[in-house]
Amino acid sequence: METNEASRVSRPRLASEIYNRQSLEEQAVSLIESRQKPEHDSWQLEPRLNARTAIFEELTAKGHLSHVEFDEAPETANRRTLRRLLNGWSDNLQGWEMERRLHEITEELTIHRVWEDIQAGELPKDTVVITISDFPEMCPDYMAPRIGYRALNKKGMVRVTEFSGGKRVIEQISRSNSNDGSSESFLAANGIVAGSGSARILGSQIIAAKRDFPDGVISVQRALDSMAGPDIIYGENHGLAEKHLPDYHELRQVSADREDQAAGFINKLADFEAKLNRDYQTGKISYSEKLAKYNARRKELVTQICLLNPAYARDARGEAAVVHFEQASLAMASGDHQSGISHMEEALATSDPDAGVVCGGEPFEESNAQLGQKAAQTYNEALQERKNWKWKKGVCAVKECPTRPEKTEVGPCRVCRKCQTIFDKGKKPESVYKTAGFWESVIRALAA
């Protein structure tokens, strides 16, 4: 038995080398067995955090980093996280999904043990806990979206928890092709024998010192990608269709900027949840009605974000819908709202229910009769929100724009200031640029 605190993490180790995994799992089982009906206080204080997580889980399929800093004491964070996990438990889950949920509860117990041991001086202050949550290979693709897994890219997550300045901080990155064997190779490269398969991997917390992964979860993701092969980033081939994915060094900032830009939508969803919580507490709606209403509202808001920035459409609504989101978006920028709404209707009709999958969500289903009405409503709400959209670096969506293919400041609908000014005058950028090109050539010819 090693007692020296530093030697316990002198290299990355499996949590089960330090803690008795079996007794932690038994503790998890007894928490499940003694759980009460859904409890409020685990979620009523965190609508904003819930909203941010849920919206970005649906918007992005890989290459997004979520950073969550708990303002409360680690004891409170632990209690509330356990409640949230227990609220999500159901005895009607598939056996393999129950096993995964049990692993997640055990992960939470492990994380808190690490905090207690840091406090007791048994572990160094910079100890981190790593969890790799891969796409469950036992889940049939058709079933995946209903349970909350994205089968299209075999989406997985990797997360790192640390206690910086006595506060719990979790960072998580989404990645594609998560069950390609990179997790097993990563563990083996660190001298860890954990067995193979997503359940084993999820049940294998790694305890390490921050110096082994200096950039936290990004260091882990980088290592996983290097196991998958050259040119792989977030599980995708960087050289092919996924050129737009942020580099590792900019991932934290790009992700924070995306969330900042969507702040108006995050606030809307958070306010909506606060209202649902009141309705639930006064008995107006049941817990499952609360979830259903929340999911429906989140989908509406995510669709609006795709309209204001169609770069999200591929991940969130599927390949077939992309062109319709782009057309609806450009129509909005040009002020042609009638055709914007009809493109929006196409975008909804072609949205892939398997694309924007969220844990605990339901697939996107709309009857055709409601589609027109839904399209108009979604479009008009996004049009209102358009005013608050922040300008950001990006490639202008107007094909004829002279700034292309370089990046410039783009606003809502991914249109640059110059093109937007032309649209606002009721003109078409293509004809304005063409005319400008004509006069330029005349002037050049005269000067020659």
Q: Would you tell me which residues interact with Zn ion (CB under 5 A)?
A: 396, 398, 401, 416, 419
Smaller CB separation from Zn ion, 373 or 435: 435
Smaller CB separation from Zn ion, 361 or 429: 429
Report yes or no: 307 and 331 within 8 Å, Cβ to Cβ.
Answer: no
Smaller CB separation from Zn ion, 307 or 396: 396
Integer CA distances (angstroms), 241 to 160, 306, 345, in order: 28, 19, 27
Smaller CB separation from Zn ion, 365 or 406: 406
Alpha helices in 350-402 (DSSP H): 368-385
Compute the least distance from the CB of residue 396 to Zn ion, in Å.
Answer: 3
Compute the least distance from the CB of residue 398 to Zn ion, in Å.
Answer: 4
Compute the least distance from the CB of residue 395 to Zn ion, in Å.
Answer: 9
Dist CA 59 CA 83 (whole Å): 26
Compute the least distance from the CB of residue 415 to Zn ion, in Å.
Answer: 6
Dist CA 157 CA 264 (whole Å): 26
Smaller CB separation from Zn ion, 244 or 249: 244
Compute the least distance from the CB of residue 410 to Zn ion, in Å.
Answer: 8
- How big is the chain, counted in residues? 448
Compute the least distance from the CB of residue 417 to Zn ion, in Å.
Answer: 8
Alpha helices in 120-174 (DSSP H): 144-147
Compute the least distance from the CB of residue 286 to Zn ion, in Å.
Answer: 49
Smaller CB separation from Zn ion, 316 or 415: 415
Compute the least distance from the CB of residue 383 to Zn ion, in Å.
Answer: 20
Smaller CB separation from Zn ion, 206 or 311: 311
Dist CA 119 CA 415 (whole Å): 52
Report yes or no: 25 and 106 within 8 Å, Cβ to Cβ.
Answer: yes
Question: 66-72 contacts: CB < 8 A, separation 24 or more?
Answer: 66/171, 66/172, 66/255, 67/169, 67/170, 67/171, 67/252, 67/255, 67/256, 68/169, 68/170, 68/171, 68/172, 69/167, 69/168, 69/169, 70/167, 70/168, 70/169, 70/170, 71/167
Between CA 165 and CA 97, with CA 46 as vertex, the angle to 5 degrees is: 95
Between CA 292 and CA 153, with CA 178 as vertex, the angle to 5 degrees is: 60
E strand intervals along 31-126:
65-69
Compute the least distance from the CB of residue 413 to Zn ion, in Å.
Answer: 11
Q: Which residues pair with 172 in a beta bridge?
A: 66, 159
Smaller CB separation from Zn ion, 330 or 348: 330
Compute the least distance from the CB of residue 335 to Zn ion, in Å.
Answer: 16
Question: 21-33 and 95-119 are packed helices; what angle lies between their axes, rounded to 10 degrees?
Answer: 120
**Neighbour count for residue 393 (Cβ, 10 Å):** 10
Dist CA 150 CA 143 (whole Å): 10
Report yes or no: 202 and 131 within 8 Å, Cβ to Cβ.
Answer: yes
Smaller CB separation from Zn ion, 139 or 396: 396
Smaller CB separation from Zn ion, 77 or 419: 419
